[in-house]
Amino acid sequence: MGLSKTTQSEKDRNCYDLEISVDRETFDAAIQAVYQKNVKDIVVPGFRKGKAPRALIERRYGKGIFYEEAINSCIPDAYENAVKESGLSVVGRPSFDVVSAGDDGLVLKATVYVKPDVKVKNYLGITAEKKSKVADDADVDAEINRTRERNGRTLDVTDRPAQSGDSVNIDFDGSVDGVAFEGGKAEKFDLRLGSGQFIPGFEDQVAGHNIGDEFDVSVTFPADYHAENLAGKPAVFRVKLNGIKATELPALDDEFAKDVSEFDTLDEYKADVRAKIQKRYDQEADAAFEEKLIDTILENTEADIPEVMFEEETENFVRDYENRLRMQGLDLNTYFKYTGMNMDALKQQMRPQAEKQVRLRLALEAIADAENPQISEEAVEEEYKRIADSYGITADKVKELVDRDGILADLKVKAAMDLVKDKAVVAP
């Protein structure tokens, strides 16, 4: 691609116009390529289809008949060279205008935005609170009981009334002011008493009844109930209890510990459960501590950030979300159908987090520039391996797809955040 010149001028803060000149030989070659691609479909009287000379087509249909496609074919290389020549750190997608196109070549104007200057104050020695809960006996018992329930036996109950914790099978038919309502009737419905699945008070009134009992349950719909025609209204359900099942939990002993873990004794198993809960609490405390540091960094950051950076990051969030949906066998159109949302609503929902991500990345890049953390080659290779493992491909394949400078930039940003955390002061 031949460029006769590239000039730049600051249009607005962080916004530049690049005037890009493509020489006549390059532009003409692009026009010739478009002509050769399309001539087979052009009919000119006196010539067989696909055999009309370019000059004759241009005289008949206008000299610029091939310009639009030729210009589009010139833009990628011309723009890439122009950005390199300008030395600007361009962000987002540019917009293009054609200044002139003809026998003298092509002149384009690209309007681009650049990364802003970023200033971060007082990022070392930030004081923030860090509190980690302590795993107690109640936490351990609750976790072990959940494991017992997963390993319990389900038994039919015939010799006692239903009680909280039982799974009951019921028929029910609800009405408000004597009138049935949509969704208020079902047969052979399985309900676990105490689960809170039904309207408050419903499950409590089923408890105490025996198989075969038919009885009324009186409840009041919550004021914030999703169906406005039922919100806050009293209702009566005619209920028949068809069956009761209970879960028999395994005994809490050494044999149970052997069955559900790699430990031989209940004490060892409990100690391991406690340690894992404590690790989770510590991780949650670390995450909350880091979030407070991030909030302070953002408060101490000054930057005039181009709107295009927020828009682009929002689109990245949408693409990531769409990919996660596809992994679940869904797509955005199906998601919108079920949720009543649309693309604008989804972008609006994701915009605040996208803005925060952009601001944080710029702030951490500024800190990395100031502190210049040294990244070893081993760290770069480990990051390639981490990415490869997460996608189930080889590190060499990742190297083909991901530029080393990009990996290095990401590691410097991470090192900047680690530095802020290391230098932070935990509030007493």
Residue 361 lies in a domain: yes
Residue-wise pLDDT tens digits, 350-359: 999 999 999 9
Tell me, yes or no, whether 396 and 289 share the same domain.
yes
List pLDDT tens digits, range 109-149: 999 999 999 999 999 999 999 999 999 999 999 999 999 98
Position 1 scores a pLDDT of: 43
- 11: pLDDT confidence band, cut at 50, 70 and 90? low
Do 367 and 401 sit in the same domain of this protein? yes
Q: Which of 66, 83, 114 corresponds to the end of one domain?
A: 114
291 and 410, same structural domain? yes
Q: Tell me, what's the pLDDT at 5?
A: 53
Quote the tokens at residue 405. 């400078």
Structural domain tally of the chain? 3
Query: What is the amino acid identity at position 156?
Result: D
Computed over every residue of the chain, the mean pLDDT equals 93
Q: Which two tokens stand for residue 106?
A: 């092509």
C-beta neighbour count of 314 within 10 angstroms: 22
Same domain membership, residue 274 and residue 355? yes
pLDDT value, residue 226: 83
Examine residue 215 and state whether it is found in any structural domain, yes or no: yes
Beta bridge partners of 155: 246
CATH number at residue 32: 3.30.70.1050
What is the per-residue pLDDT for 163? Answer: 95
Report phi then psi at 200, rounded to 5.
-50, 130
Domain that holds residue 326: 267-426
Model pLDDT, residue 4: 44
Same domain, 165 and 278: no
- CA distances from residue 278 to 45, 133, 258, 272, 273 in whole angstroms, order as listed: 85, 8, 22, 10, 9
In this structure, the answer to whether residues 177 and 80 fall within a common structural domain is no
Reduced to 3 states, what is the DSSP secondary structure of residue 329?
A: coil
Identify whether 69 is part of a domain.
yes
Contact (Cβ atoms closer than 8 angstroms) between residue 296 and residue 128: yes
Same domain membership, residue 309 and residue 407: yes
Is the same domain home to 160 and 213?
yes
Comparing 3-12, 22-31, 305-314, 337-346, which segment has the lowest mean pLDDT? 3-12
Q: What is the pLDDT of residue 250?
A: 95
Neighbours of 321 (CB within 10 A): 15
Q: Are residues 243 and 287 in the same domain?
A: no
The predicted pLDDT at position 46 comes to 84
Burial class (CB in 10 A: 0-12, 13-18, 19+), 173: middle
193, 217 in Cβ contact below 8 A?
no
Q: Is position 121 within any domain?
A: no
* pLDDT number for residue 50: 82
The answer to whether residue 55 scores a pLDDT higher than 70 is yes
The bridge status of strand 425-426 relative to strand 127-128 is: parallel
Exposure of 87 in the CB half-sphere (CA atoms within 13 A): 1
Tell which of 215, 248, 281 closes a domain.
Answer: 248
Using alpha carbons, select from 131, 139, 129 the residue that is nearest to residue 275.
139
pLDDT at 234 over 50: yes
Tokens coding 282: 């510590």
Whether the predicted pLDDT of 310 surpasses 80? yes
pLDDT tens digit string along 362-400?
Answer: 999 999 999 999 999 999 999 999 999 998 999 999 999
Proportion of the chain above pLDDT 90, given as a percent: 83
76 assigned to some structural domain:
yes
CATH number at residue 223: 3.10.50.40
- Is 14 in the same domain as 61? yes
Quick check: is 261 in a domain? no
Residues 22/106, Cβ–Cβ less than 8 Å: yes
More confident site: 181 or 7 = 181
**Residues with Cβ < 8 Å from 272, sequence gap 6 or more?**
261, 263
pLDDT at 371: 96
For residue 407, the domain's CATH number is 1.10.3120
pLDDT in tens, 67-114: 999 999 999 999 999 999 999 999 989 999 999 999 999 999 999 999
Choose among 368, 283, 355, 284: nearest CA to 315. 355
Is 382 among the domain residues?
A: yes
What is the structure's pLDDT at 8?
Answer: 61
pLDDT by residue (tens digit) across 289-307? 999 999 999 999 999 999 9
User: What is the arithmetic mean of pLDDT over 19-24?
Assistant: 94
Determine, yes or no, domain membership for 135: no
Q: DSSP letters along 341-382, please?
A: --HHHHHHHHHHHHHHHHHHHHHHHHHHHHH-----HHHHHH
* Last residue within a domain, chosen from 114, 140, 165: 114
Same domain, 351 and 291: yes
User: pLDDT tens, 173-231?
Assistant: 999 999 999 889 999 999 999 999 999 999 999 999 999 999 999 999 999 888 888 99
| 310 neighbors 354 (Cβ within 8 angstroms) | yes
Q: Do the bridges between strand 105-114 and strand 90-102 make them parallel or antiparallel, or are there none, so unpaired? A: antiparallel
Query: Do residue 89 and residue 167 come from a single domain?
Result: no
Q: Which amino acid, residue 330?
A: L
